[in-house]
Amino acid sequence: MGMTLKNRVVLITGGKRIGQVVARELAARGADIAVSYRGSRDEAEATVAEVQSLGRRGAAITADVGRAADCQALVDEVVARLGRIDVLVNMASIYAAKDFAETTEQDWQRNIDINLRSVFLCAQSAAPHMRRQGGGRIVNFADWLARSGRPAYRGFVAYYTAKAGVIALTETLALELAHDQILVNAVAPGPILPPPDMSEDERAEVARATPVGRWGGEIEIARAVLALVESDFITGETIRVDGGRHVQ
């Protein structure tokens, strides 16, 4: 029987828009939810309010997960406030196009710190708590292009490299933590939610380029996270949720 979420504690890092739906779906199945935020306090508090409306405990905690001290403090506060940590969902991410010639060392490092290093740091902080409880789940966030080995779009050198690193980290953490019954997997989203500044024509173009003919919507990510959390035997996998983009 897979992990049940009733009375489990889940920490979700970042993930403003999609993260709110993930939090809601996990809370609806009985989990208490902590969300971290760096600059989006209102969104984090709205997520907590929705969790509480479902009768579950919620906590919004400020943290810059690109910093080691913040990752450790974040996990410690979750355990202090909610009593334990069973599931870590590493959603914190930055995404911005920048020409390779104009990419600074700081741009590169910020991508690595937030998109990759934070996954390592939060997992390292959470794993001892999961180990003491007899197991847990870690779900990381990669990208469908990195999972498919297809950079495809210019201007994303640092982002693509970091997300490819997430896939490798997911695999090696799965090996490291399997004997503790901590299963580690990743979700690789495709066209889920259009950026706010995307035009209607651009949205339609993406839908046409997707075999199923549409954007997925946040619920598809929540369903993938649920499947990975509830499994007792899937580990080291990166699951594309991309409407078939990778098969054409």
Q: Which residues are the active-site residues?
A: 159
**Sheet strands (E) in the chain:** 9-13, 32-37, 58-62, 87-90, 136-141, 182-189, 238-241
Looking at the chain, the number of H-run helices and the number of E-run strands are 9, 7
Q: 74 with 124: CB under 8 angstroms?
A: no
Q: Which two tokens stand for residue 203?
A: 């949205």
For residue 184, with 0-12 CB atoms within 10 Å meaning exposed, 13-18 middle and 19 or more buried, which class applies? buried
CA 203 to CA 213: how far, in whole Å? 11
Helix/strand/coil for 85? coil
Q: 137 with 84: CB under 8 angstroms?
A: no
CA neighbor of 148 nearest in space, from 243, 42, 18: 243
